[in-house]
Amino acid sequence: MATGIVSISAQDHHYRLISFLLAAIAVAAMVVLTALAAVKTAVRQRFPFDLTDPDVAVRLFTFVAACTVLGARFLAHPGILGILATIAWITWFVLIAVTARSMWPHLGTDLRDRAHGAWELVSVATSGLAIVTAQLARLGHDAELLTIGIVMWLAALGFYGVATWLILWRGAEGPGDDFWHPDIWILMGGLAIGTLAGDQLHRAGLAIVTHDWLLAAIRSATVVTWVAATLWIAPLVYATVRHLHLRFAGAWWAMVFPLGMYSAATFAMKVETGWRPFKMASVVFFWVAFAAWLAVALASVVAIVAAWRARPR
């Protein structure tokens, strides 16, 4: 997911080689990880994840988000976009039911005490569906698909509000070190992908010739989500600097995704407004996201090699 969005940002700025290599890595990683999950399921003869745990159920939305990000990356290939969008939609419906069931027994303070940044993945995945649905609507000049995309976008913003409330409630009631983890960056990423979804819906609406008041409302809401995402950056940078002592873990990928998504969302704002500072900011955040991607990718390889060498012989 993180690799895919950095590839999209590279494509926005015509860094074609970087974009191509990252897209290839993203596709390969998705195929390998999906295959590993399928093999584990076959060997154990059961699904390898505990779907009664709300945290596990929520994290599985990463697969939906990854499908939508790759779909958006291959917009020039409608067949691939359609296949990935279909897979994402089916998985989203299954996971929404599973997540609701897993959370129901923990309503109240128990649910609050479990909430953290990764819970924004429900909103991220839903915004991703809004993006690919808007793209398909624009390609097919389909007003009904556009309506579905708008509904999903509003749902994504609603999910974001609920998850953010739970996370901030937990942060206010508990110790700061317990509250902060790298995945807290998804608080910004959830708004950034909401901005990108709004932009795609606005473009689709222009192509389909929708009501002016609706287009104006979508554009206004998109500006608001971009501003809100921008306001998150300073406190998140401050928290990151304070917690650089944390050892590497796979959760650091959750910081790369929002940085890449913010770059893509800011570039979309430039396309919408024609304001050049948006392009400059988008380029800066692309290189920040790419540098973060390189650092986390290198740390991942080192961790994998170390685990391989430490395995029992």
Is residue 206 assigned to a domain? yes
Give one DSSP letter per residue of 83-129, joined into a string: HHHHHHHHHHHHHHHHHHHHHGGGTTHHHHHH--GGGGHHHHHHHHH
pLDDT of residue 93: 95
247 pLDDT above the threshold of 80: no
Tokens 């993180």 -> residue: 2
Confidence band of 251 (pLDDT split at 50, 70, 90): low
Average pLDDT over residues 91-109: 90
| Percent of the chain scoring above 90 in pLDDT | 56
Is residue 12 assigned to a domain? no
**193-246 tens-digit pLDDT:** 999 999 999 999 998 877 888 999 999 999 999 999 999 999 998 888 776 655
Q: Are 95 and 57 in contact (CB under 8 A)?
A: yes
| Percent of the chain scoring above 70 in pLDDT | 93
Confidence band of 13 (pLDDT split at 50, 70, 90): very high
Is residue 16 assigned to a domain? no
Extract the tokens encoding 226. Answer: 């971009």
82 pLDDT above the threshold of 70: yes
Is residue 38 assigned to a domain? no
Who wins on pLDDT, 185 or 241? 185
Q: Would you call 186 helix, strand, or coil by DSSP?
A: helix
What's the pTM value of the predicted model, to 2 decimals?
0.90
Q: How many residues does the chain have?
A: 313
Indicate the number of domains in the chain. 1
Is residue 1 assigned to a domain? no
Lowest mean pLDDT among 150-154, 175-179, 242-246, 251-255: 175-179
Q: Are 156 and 130 in contact (CB under 8 A)?
A: yes
Distances (CA, A) of 29 to 68, 286, 288: 15, 21, 22
309 pLDDT above the threshold of 80: no
Average pLDDT over residues 25-32: 90
Is residue 73 assigned to a domain? yes
Is residue 30 assigned to a domain? no
Domain interval for residue 103: 51-309
What are the phi and psi torsion angles at 105 (to 5°)? Answer: -70, -5
Which one-letter amino acid corresponds to residue 264?
A
Beta strands in the chain (DSSP E): none
Confidence band of 105 (pLDDT split at 50, 70, 90): confident
- Which residues, 6+ apart, have CB-to-CB distance to 4 below 8 Å? 22, 23, 26, 66, 69, 70, 72, 73
Q: Are 91 and 63 in contact (CB under 8 A)?
A: yes
Who wins on pLDDT, 37 or 165? 165
Is residue 169 assigned to a domain? yes
For the chain, give the mean pLDDT.
Answer: 87
